[in-house]
């Protein structure tokens, strides 16, 4: 695709990361009642890969949140567009997200879900951009660390596009500086 500057993380690297995380999650939650909550839209591809590598029974649900609008900079405003349908009272919750950037979205989601009586709320994220963190959020299953670059692919978009690229890529700057 012409808008792509270069591939940052290949399919093979993502696949390896997913398998390692799924194996840890399967061990840690063995015999426990786990609800996995995928954060839409960005987390959908990672969750689809991760869920199929998890070897224990889990409930799957989704939340849809928006923090970026149509720009490549975080607004800090987290809007819940779709909430979960599952009752998480007395269950363990694992939030599955595409990337932790400022941490504002996950911080907000953890605090919200904790008010609903779960036994625990943990976080699993495919990518981590620690240099941009604004709030200290504990990521229990931390994915691949990336530099301060705006990335697309593997579920991540720019203006709704490029989510379907199978690798994590750096977008050409002129695409979003236009
Ligand atoms: P945070 O609240 O941690 O700043 O980030 C929340 C959301 O911003 C992420 O779930 C993701 O959807 C989006 N985001 C953060 N960094 C990037 C990036 O480099 N590329 C894209 N496409 N989205 C990002």
Inside any domain, residue 173: no
Inside any domain, residue 6: no
- Quote the ligand 1 centre to 125 CA distance (angstroms): 11
Judging by DSSP bridges, how do beta strands 168-171 and 151-152 pair with one another? antiparallel
Question: Which domain, by its residues, includes 28?
Answer: 11-146
Q: What is the mean pLDDT of residues 66-91?
A: 78
Pocket residue to mutate for ligand 1, from 9, 68, 103, most atoms within 8 A of Cβ? 68
Task: Give percent above pLDDT 70 in the chain.
Answer: 93
- Condensed to tens digits (0 to 9), the pLDDT of residues 99-135 reads 999 999 999 999 999 999 999 999 999 999 999 899 9
Q: Is the CB of 68 under 6 A from ligand 1?
A: yes
Q: Is the CB of 165 under 6 A from ligand 1?
A: no
Q: Is the pLDDT of residue 73 over 60?
A: no
ipTM of the complex: 0.95
Q: What is the mean pLDDT of residues 45-70?
A: 90
- Name which residue sits closest to atom 9 of ligand 1, judged by CA: 99
Q: What are the backbone angles phi and psi of residue 106, rounded to the nearest 5°?
A: -65, -40
Inside any domain, residue 60: yes
Cα torsion 162, 171, 97, 127 to 10°: value is: 140
- Name which residue sits closest to atom 16 of ligand 1, judged by CA: 101
Q: Is the pLDDT of residue 86 over 70?
A: yes
Q: Is the pLDDT of residue 150 over 60?
A: yes
Q: How far is Cα 35 from Cα 37, in angstroms, rounded to an integer?
A: 6
Inside any domain, residue 152: no
Q: Among 1-10, 25-34, 135-144, whose mean pLDDT is lowest?
A: 1-10
Q: Is the CB of 151 under 6 A from ligand 1?
A: yes
Tokens 């907000």 correspond to: 108
Inside any domain, residue 163: no
Q: How far is Cα 82 from Cα 132, in angstroms, rounded to an integer?
A: 26
Q: Is the CB of 29 under 6 A from ligand 1?
A: no
pLDDT confidence tier of residue 69, bands split at 50, 70 and 90? low
Q: Is the pLDDT of residue 98 over 90?
A: yes
> Any idea what DSSP says for residue 172?
P
Inside any domain, residue 178: no
75: domain CATH number?
3.40.50.2020
- Quote the ligand 1 centre to 8 CA distance (angstroms): 16
Inside any domain, residue 4: no
**Number of domains into which the chain is organized:** 1
Q: Is the pLDDT of residue 68 over 80?
A: no
Q: Please tell me whether residue 64 adopts helix, strand or coil conformation.
A: strand
Residues in the chain, overall count: 178
Q: Is the pLDDT of residue 71 over 60?
A: no
Residue 98 appears among annotated catalytic residues: no
> Any idea what DSSP says for residue 32?
S
- Name which residue sits closest to atom 20 of ligand 1, judged by CA: 151
Q: What confidence score (pLDDT) does residue 157 get?
A: 94
Q: Is the pLDDT of residue 72 over 60?
A: no
Q: What is the mean pLDDT of residues 9-31?
A: 98
Q: What confidence score (pLDDT) does residue 175 get?
A: 83
Judging by DSSP bridges, how do beta strands 168-171 and 4-9 pair with one another? antiparallel
């Amino acid at each position: 695709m012409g808008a792509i500057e270069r591939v940052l993380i290949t399919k093979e690297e993502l696949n390896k990361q997913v398998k390692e995380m799924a194996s840890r999650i399967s061990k840690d939650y063995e015999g426990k009642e786990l609800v996995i909550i995928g954060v839409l839209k960005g987390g959908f591809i990672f969750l689809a890969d991760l869920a199929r590598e998890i070897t224990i029974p889990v409930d799957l649900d989704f939340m849809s949140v928006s923090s970026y609008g149509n720009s490549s900079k975080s607004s800090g405003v987290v809007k819940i567009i779709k909430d979960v349908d599952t009752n998480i009272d007395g269950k363990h919750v694992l939030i599955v997200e595409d990337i932790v950037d400022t941490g504002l979205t996950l911080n907000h989601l953890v605090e919200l879900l904790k008010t609903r009586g779960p036994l625990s709320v943990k976080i699993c994220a495919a990518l981590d951009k620690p240099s941009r963190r604004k709030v200290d959020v504990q990521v229990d299953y931390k994915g691949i660390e990336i530099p301060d670059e705006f990335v697309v692919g593997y579920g991540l978009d720019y203006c709704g596009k490029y989510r379907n690229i199978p690798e994590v890529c750096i977008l050409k700057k002129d695409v979003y500086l236009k």
